[in-house]
A = this chain, B = another copy of it.
Amino acid sequence: MNIDMQAVHETMQPKIRKRWARLFRAAYLTITIVGVVGVIAVTVPNLHRFFEGVFWFCFSFAALFFTAEYAARLYVAPFEPGRELNPHWQTRVIYARSTMGMIDLIAVLPAAGIVILGAHSSGAYLFGILWILKLLRYTPGWSTLLRVFQQAWEPLLSVFVAFIIVLLSAGTLLHALEQDVQPDKFGSIPDALWWAIVTLTTTGYGDVTPVTSLGRMISGVVMVCGIGVFALWAGILANAFAGEVRRRSFLRTWDMLTKVPLFQNLSAETIADISRVLKHRDVSDGSAVFYRGDRGDCMYFIVYGEIEVQMPTAPLVLSAGEFFGEMSLITGACRSATTRATKETLLLALDIADFRDIASRRPDLSLAVHEEARRRMGQGQAESGEGGT
Contact = CB atoms under 8 A, between A and B. Distances in A.
Interface of A: 36, 39-41, 43-45, 82-83, 85-86, 90-91, 94, 126, 129-130, 132-133, 135-136, 139-142, 144-145, 148, 151, 154-155, 157-159, 161-165, 168-169, 172, 175-176, 187-190, 193-194, 197-199, 201-207, 209, 213, 216, 219-220, 223-224, 226-242, 245-247, 250-251, 254-255, 268-269, 271-272, 275-276, 279, 291-294, 332-334, 336, 351-354, 356-357, 359-361, 363
14 contacts: A45-B187, A90-B293, A91-B293, A139-B158, A145-B158, A163-B224, A198-B204, A201-B223, A205-B206, A206-B207, A227-B233, A235-B238, A268-B363, A272-B357
B235 A334 contact: no
Q: Chain A interface secondary structure, helix, strand, loop or mixed?
A: helix
A255 B155 contact: no
A141 B155 contact: yes
A339 to B, nearest CB: 14
A168 B133 CA distance: 10
B268 A353 contact: no
Contact of A197 (B83, B157, B220, B361): B220
A354 B332 CA distance: 28
- This chain's copy number in the assembly: 4
A311 to B, nearest CB: 13
Contacts of A275: 356
B247 A361 contact: no
A234 B159 CA distance: 14
Nearest to A179: B43
Contacts of A238: 234-236, 238-239, 241-242
Q: Which 6 A-B pairs have the closest CB atoms?
A: A235-B238, A272-B360, A203-B204, A235-B237, A205-B206, A201-B223
A45 B188 CA distance: 7
A240 B234 contact: no
Nearest to A221: B197
A353 B135 contact: no
A85 B293 contact: yes
A360 B169 contact: no
A202 B233 CA distance: 15
Given A130-B169, A136-B165, A194-B220, 10 more contacts: A43-B190, A126-B172, A132-B164, A139-B161, A140-B158, A203-B203, A247-B354, A251-B353, A268-B363, A275-B356
A88 to B, nearest CB: 11
